[in-house]
Structures are given as structure tokens and as C-alpha cells.
Amino acid sequence: MESNYKEIAPLMMKLKPCVALTGAGISAESGIPTFRSKGGLWEKYDPMVYASIETFQEDPAKYWTIRGEFIRDYDTYQPNKAHLVLAEMERMNLLRHVITQNIDGLHKKAGNKNVTEIHGSLRETYCLKCSQEFIAPHVPEGLPPYCDCGGVLKPNTVLFGEQLPQGALETAYHESTSCKLMLVIGTSAVVQPAASLPVLAQQKGAKIVEVNIERAFPGADFMVKEKASIGLSKILEQIKKIVEL
Ligand code: NAD
């Protein structure tokens, strides 16, 4: 079904607090390219090669080539309106949890407290030898950078071919299977296991509201075909109208 804010807003009020699953699309308006962005980083570097654990083990410089710049410019990337709306929804008790595939840390920067970063975060980097932690943007120079102890540094992200952290996965499953409404925002819904979360939510009876510039989750009950900043703002606007009645 195409977007109908007047239907979605009362449903969110009725089924609150909801859970949000987010992907790279929500950060596109913060200037961070998605896998499919035209002219973006990923046209040049195949993520399945550059962001795989096999490649990192063979040649960590490859991963630092694609991620080093973001880590060192960490403070310049800021949440956009879509992240800020989700933070406001959490404060209004409309939203109880954000499950994100993103590794940019922008949900936490926006003020959301209950965030599960299932693919980890570029904010933290650690030494594979002595476990010393570095917080972005404060990471030693070098491609790849090394710790004083001589160990190579690895950002705390889940690479292709690596297991997701068990605790994060359990939280994601728990939140997905116990919510009554899930917002699925800016994800192509192809990377597993994240892609299965809305399916599980729906099997347990939750309604799915997708916010994306193109349909990616055909099973969604409602489709808001807009940029995340616009779609989420309009939903919140409608909710505020109801609250003020
Ligand atoms: P994806 O790149 O496969 O898909 C992005 C989706 O966002 C698409 O469906 C696209 O239509 C949609 N989109 C693009 N711009 C949008 C906008 N302004 N508003 C709403 N939707 C928009 O992303 P994915 O599904 O998250 O999977 C990619 C994987 O890559 C994830 O595992 C993630 O960890 C990683 N990744 C993360 C970042 C980040 O942290 N910001 C960026 C790129 C890739």
C-alpha cells in the first residue's frame, strides 16, 4: 500500500512503542553513500571484497582504504532530520528501540538511547594484539594503522564472513518478535540476518511500515516512498496533530 500518513500515524499511536530497523539509506542525507549510491565509494570498491574478513586478514590496508577516511573525519558526519525524528520518537515513547545495520554511529549521535548496532561501529577501533581501544577520530596514522605494541588495528565492525555479536543478535530478535509495529527505513533488505527481522516481526503479527525511496520489502503493510527525512517528518507531524487534538 502506498503511503498514507493519516492511517500510519494513528496506527503508530495505537501500537506504540514501535521498533525501527535502519540501513544505509537513512544516512544517505548525511552524505554517507549507500552501497548503491551513484558515484559513491562502492562503485569503485566492491564491499564484498574490501569489507570481508578474508581480505582483512590478508591485507588490512584494503579495509582501511575504504574506512580510514570516515574514521578520521568522524566528527564531521552529523545526524540528519531522519535520525533526529527517530530520537524525538524515542523521547515521546513512540519508539522503544533502533536496530541498525549502519556502522556510522549517527543514531547515538542523534540522541537515541536504545540502539543495537548489529554490524558494530566505526567509532571504536581496537588492537588485535593487546586489545587497546581507540575512539574515532583519534586513531593513529598509517595504512593500516598499528598500535604501539605492534598489533594491527581493526575497527569494531562486523565484516562479511564474520559472525554477528551474539548479544546484539539476541536483542535484535527479541525486539523484532515482540514489537507490534516495525519501521523499516532505508534498507535494501538483502543483507542477512537483518533482512529476516521484518519477516519475523510480521510472522508474530507486527505491522510493517517501510520508508524508502524505492520499495525494497514487498511484504510491508504500508509504503512511504520518500527520502527518510521527509517520510519520517511527515509521520511525526501527523502524530503531533493527533496528540494536540
Ligand atoms: P543498501 O546500500 O543495500 O541499501 C540502501 C537502501 O536505502 C536502498 O533500498 C535505497 O533505496 C535506500 N535509500 C537510499 N537513499 C535513501 C533515502 N534518502 N531515504 C530512504 N531510503 C534511501 O543498504 P543496507 O540495506 O543498509 O545494507 C548495506 C550494508 O552496508 C549494511 O550491512 C551496512 O552495515 C553497510 N553500510 C553502512 C553504511 C553506513 O553505516 N551509513 C553505509 C553503506 C553501507
Report the pLDDT averaged over residues 224-242. 96
Q: What is the CA radius of gyration of the chain?
A: 18
Are 174 and 214 within one domain? yes
Three-state secondary structure call for residue 105: coil
From 3, 35, 70, 230, the mutation candidate for ligand 1 (largest count of ligand atoms within 8 A of CB) is 35
Are 16 and 114 within one domain? yes
For residue 155, pLDDT over 80 is answered with yes
Residue 191: band (very low, low, confident or very high) from pLDDT cuts 50, 70, 90: confident
Are 18 and 113 within one domain? yes
Are 62 and 144 within one domain? yes
Instruction: Give the CATH number, domain containing residue 15.
Output: 3.40.50.1220
pLDDT digits (tens, 9 = 90+) for 45-94: 888 888 899 999 999 999 999 999 999 999 999 999 999 999 999 999 99
Amino acid type, 94: L
Are 12 and 46 within one domain? no
Return the residue whose CA atom lies nearest to atom 32 of ligand 1. 101
Residue 3: band (very low, low, confident or very high) from pLDDT cuts 50, 70, 90: low
Show the domain range for 102: 1-32+79-119+164-245
Are 13 and 105 within one domain? yes
Residues 6 or more apart from 58 whose CB is under 8 A from it?
Answer: none
Instruction: Give the CATH number, domain containing residue 59.
Output: 3.30.1600.10
19 touches 97 (CB < 8 A): yes
Ligand 1 binding pocket (C-beta < 6 A) is 23-25, 27-29, 32, 34-36, 101-104, 119, 186-188, 191, 212-214, 216, 227-228
Are 197 and 228 within one domain? yes
Q: What's the number of domains the chain is made of?
A: 2
Are 99 and 177 within one domain? yes
